[in-house]
């Protein structure tokens, strides 16, 4: 009798593990599902400037932000985290937040990025390119 309970218990645990794996994998995007976008982020005296190189309706964005209120950005420009929409098939469907601290820039991917978070140093006057996969040259 104990052998049956052990084998049933192992079967149930295995089934639960497979179900959990399937559920969590359905919420992540693989690199082949991501649409291409590319931008340059520049640290200026007044704040940050973003220049879209690919996949966005906007060309340039500039704003002053601090680490207390990150700014949401999508393929249409500056937005709010819960109001982003992506309907144009010619544009990449992405959403991230950007924040600036004294020493670094913090990007948090919400939608359409392979990255969850990117943090990098960016001195005044320097720039960094970012795409759907992460930091790039």
Taking the model in full, what pTM does it have? 0.75
Tokens 């919420």 locate to 27
β-strand partners of 62: 49
Distance CA 61, CA 40 (A): 10
Query: Which of 58, 78, 128 is closest to 95 using CA atoms?
Result: 78
Average pLDDT of every residue of the chain:
82
**Owner of token pair 């209120």:** 69
CA within 13 Å, CB half, 56: 24
> Closest by alpha carbon to 113, among 18, 49, 35, 61?
35
Mean pLDDT calculated for residue range 55-72: 88
pLDDT top residue among 132 and 8: 132
Burial class (CB in 10 A: 0-12, 13-18, 19+), 20: exposed
81 vs 18: which has the higher pLDDT: 81
* pLDDT(15) > 70: no
3-state secondary structure of 137: coil
Q: What gap in Å lies between CA 52 and CA 68, rounded to an integer?
A: 25
């Amino acid at each position: 009798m104990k052998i049956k309970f052990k084998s049933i218990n192992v079967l149930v645990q295995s089934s639960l593990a497979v179900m959990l794996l399937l559920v969590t994998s359905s919420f992540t995007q693989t690199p082949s599902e991501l649409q291409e976008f590319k931008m340059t982020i520049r640290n200026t005296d007044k704040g940050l400037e973003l220049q879209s190189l690919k996949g966005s309706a906007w060309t340039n964005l500039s704003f002053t932000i601090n680490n207390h209120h990150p700014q949401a950005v999508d393929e249409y420009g500056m937005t709010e985290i819960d109001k982003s929409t992506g309907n144009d098939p010619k544009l990449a469907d992405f959403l991230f937040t950007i924040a600036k601290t004294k020493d670094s820039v913090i990007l948090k991917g919400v939608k359409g990025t392979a990255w969850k978070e990117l943090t990098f140093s960016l001195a005044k006057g320097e720039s960094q390119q970012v795409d759907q996969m992460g930091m790039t040259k």
